[in-house]
Structure 1
Amino acid sequence: MSKDIKVLIADDHPALRLGIAALIDDETDMSVIAQAENAKRAVALYRENKPDVVIMDLQLPDMDGEQAISQILAEDPHAKIIVLTTYGGEDTVKRTINAGARGFMLKDAASSRIIDGIRHVFNGNRLLEGNIAELYADAMQQTDLTEREMEILRTIAQGNSNKVIAYKLNISEATVKNHVANILQKLEAKDRTDAIMISLQRGMIRLQ
């Protein structure tokens, strides 16, 4: 029977790779389709296999995981990558998430949390666990949005187009576009959907 979630593991420690692979393969809805011992191999295997989720260590022998993440996302902006590492310092968390990783976990996380994290990211969510979420919040103290930008952000989250937002707020569509561009820049978001996810993660907005 075909499993839904196909996973690529990139880590230079064979025992750890095998342990995570065994953990994943025990699940009924996911399987490991490739394993990489370095970053270049991870990029090549991603290109070849197009996994649904990548588990990426940051300390790899040929280049750091952050560079590998950037290379994978350059080829596939929709790649879903979870960093699984031993070190979760504030700067590391910030740089990794900014590089495009959808999740960040420490290697001492419970097995069940790793599995749940894979499903969480596969379903389009961000994953920042426990103190990692707190570190990220500290490192990424949200750049202040203006009251108007917050108003537009909340309206975007309700699924409204620029045209509808312009009508609701009695401003021009061009003005809305300018505000949206500023919002994306300040949040370092790739697009409107990413901006919503980032603002939800940071507690800036709540979906009704």
Structure 2
Amino acid sequence: MIRVLLADDQQLIRAGLRMLCDAEADLEVVGEAGDGREAVTLAARLTPDVVVMDLRMPGVDGISATSRILSERPSTRVVVLTTFGDDDHLYPALTAGACGFLLKDAPPAELLDGIRRAAAGDSPFSQDVLARLVRRAVDSRADGPVRPVAGLTGRERDVLDLVGAGLSNAEIAERLHIGVTTVKTHVTALMAKTGAPNRVRLALVAHAR
């Protein structure tokens, strides 16, 4: 069971998210927070696996709340769910430690998949957000040159291409007709071979080779 904490200042949105999660057998909403300060308090008390975090909230905003939650409990996975997909919101959220960034106009299935992916250690991003991250990284090389890709097996190259396309481990497994555990093994090997510390960086490798 994946324990989920919802943080959003709009009660109607929290209610909709709760109904969405409650309809899934593997998700349990353990709490709701109306602002960042409450989110920090509840995260410490309820120890959720995943926090679905809005960014614009009164008092303590979502970025500050994310930073505080992860400083106290680094194993918590924070997925941003926001109306604002611009760089002014995206990069501060990632710097604060959010593992994923989804937009509120995303289909319900994408949100549910994002929560599950986050709990499994993955990094869920809306497709346009991931594409922008990769484009910006390719253009700027802000975190250093991409290590040349060498010594990859054919299957690892297939997996790398699909990571670059923004697919989740489950989607890659379905596309390649292999198990999700096998995909995770390939992704881990790819990170080791390319020096990519996370999935976004691995997607950059896929686009730069």
Provide TM-score, normalisation by structure 2.
0.72
Cα gap change, 1:46/1:199 in structure 2, threshold over 3 Å: closer, same or farther? same
1:100 pairs with 81, 97, 100, which one? 97
Q: How does 1:123-134 map to 2 (within 5 A)?
A: 123-134=120-131
Identity of aligned residues (%): 32
**1:15 is the counterpart of 2:12:** yes
Amino acid at match of 1:203: V
C-alpha deviation, 1:79, in angstroms: 1.5
Give, as a single letter, the amino acid of the residue that structure 1 aligns with 2:39: A
Matched, 1:42 2:39: yes
Q: Distance in 2 between matches of 1:160 and 1:67?
A: 29
- Mark the runs of 5 or more structure 2 residues left unpaired by the alignment: 153-187
Residues 154 and 9 of structure 1, relative CA distance in 2, 3 Å threshold: farther
C-alpha distance in structure 1 between counterparts of 2:15 and 2:44, whole Å: 22
Which stretch of structure 1 is more off in the superposition, 40-49 or 134-143?
134-143
Shift in alpha-carbon separation, 1:11–1:142, aligned structure 2, 3 A = same
The reply to whether residue 85 of structure 1 matches residue 87 of structure 2 is no
Secondary structure of the residue aligned to 1:54 is: strand
Tell me which residue corresponds to 1:171.
none
Q: Give the conservation status (yes or no) of the 8 Å contact 2:31–2:42.
A: yes
Cα shift at 1:136 = 2.1
* SS at 1:128 equivalent: coil
Partner AA of 1:142 in structure 2: R
Runs of 4+ in 1 over 4 A off after TM superposition: 151-155
Give the AA of the match of 2:2.
I
In the alignment, is the contact (CA less than 8 A) between 1:6 and 1:33 conserved in 2?
A: yes
Query: CA separation of 1:99/1:138 partners in 2, compared to 1, >3 Å: closer, same or farther?
Result: farther
Query: Residues 94 and 136 of structure 1 are in contact (CA less than 8 Å); yes or no, is this contact kept in structure 2?
Result: no
Structure 1 residue 91: Cα displacement: 2.6
- Show the counterpart of 1:142: 141
Q: Secondary structure, in 3 states, of the residue corresponding to 1:195?
A: coil
- Of 195-204 and 62-71, more deviation after overlay is shown by 195-204
CA distance in 1, matches of 2:19, 2:151: 43
Superposition CA RMSD, Å: 2.9
Q: TM-score, normalised by structure 1?
A: 0.72
Give 1:57 deviation, angstroms.
0.3
Q: Does 1:202 align with 2:204?
A: yes
Structure 1, unaligned stretches of length 5 or more?
Answer: 166-182, 184-191
Counterpart-to-counterpart distance in 2, 1:36 and 1:124 = 23
Q: Distance in 2 between matches of 1:127 and 1:54?
A: 13
SS in structure 1 of the partner of residue 16 of structure 2: helix
Change (3 A) 1:203 1:128: farther
For the pair 1:113 / 2:113, whether they are aligned, the reply is no
Per-residue CA distance 1:48-92 (angstroms, 9 max, x = gap): 010010000001111221000000011112210010011100231
CA distance in 1 between counterparts of 2:3 and 2:78 reads 12
Which amino acid in the other structure matches residue 123 of structure 1?
Answer: A
CA separation of 1:154/1:103 partners in 2, compared to 1, >3 Å: closer, same or farther? farther
